[in-house]
Amino acid sequence: MRHYENLVIVKPTLTAEEIQASLKAIEEVITSNGGEIAATNAMGMRKLAYPINKNERGYYQVIYYSAAPSAISEIERRFRINEELLRFVTIKYDTNREIKAWNGLVEKANKKAELAEAAAATPAPEAATEAPVVEEAPATEAPTEEAPVATEAAAE
């Protein structure tokens, strides 16, 4: 098993759901050929540096996986057939230094995915955590305000 990375550019003319569907199909191509996906990193819709097939934009997705070296030619053949792909770039991480870098990249991508998930999930918990804070603040202020009143009352 060797470590690989695939950068995939999906056509921008598709809708968001179609893009996700085609990405899933791409991942399935990798897994069906014996690859294990370690992480995915969605770079999102970007402007291309130069037009590809008259498209100015594209949806970028990076997939990190490990697979047998013999599976790569089949994966690339399947990618070439796929008409929803504008471009794909396969990169091999072979030497020890590159493998170390690959692990770092996978970790980074996973962290980013976690953050994105957390951001999607947080709105409810955040509101819950904020609410008590707001409630506590007046509660702490109230005694301090009351205290001078009490002392004034005592002075009178």
Q: Binding pattern to another protein, positions 54-73, x when CB under 8 A? A: ----x---x-----------
CA–CA separation, 57 and 23 (whole Å): 17
Cα dihedral 58, 62, 66, 70, rounded to 10, equals 20
Residues 1-20 that bind another protein (CB under 8 A): 7, 9
Query: Which member of 52, 78, 82, 110 binds another protein (CB under 8 A)?
Result: 52
Q: Does 113 bind another protein (CB under 8 A)?
A: no
Distances (CA, A) of 93 to 29, 42, 56, 103: 20, 20, 30, 10
Q: How far is the CB of 51 from another protein (least distance, A)?
A: 9
Closer to another protein by CB, 34 or 82: give it.
Answer: 82
Asked whether the beta carbons of 26 and 82 are under 8 A apart, the reply is yes
The interaxial angle of helices 123-155 and 96-121, nearest 10 deg, is: 60
Return the structure tokens found at 88: 């794909």
Binders of another protein in range 72-111 (CB under 8 A): 86-87, 89, 91, 97-98, 100-101, 105
Which residues sit at the interface with another protein, rule CB under 8 A? 7, 9, 43, 46-50, 52, 58, 62, 86-87, 89, 91, 97-98, 100-101, 105
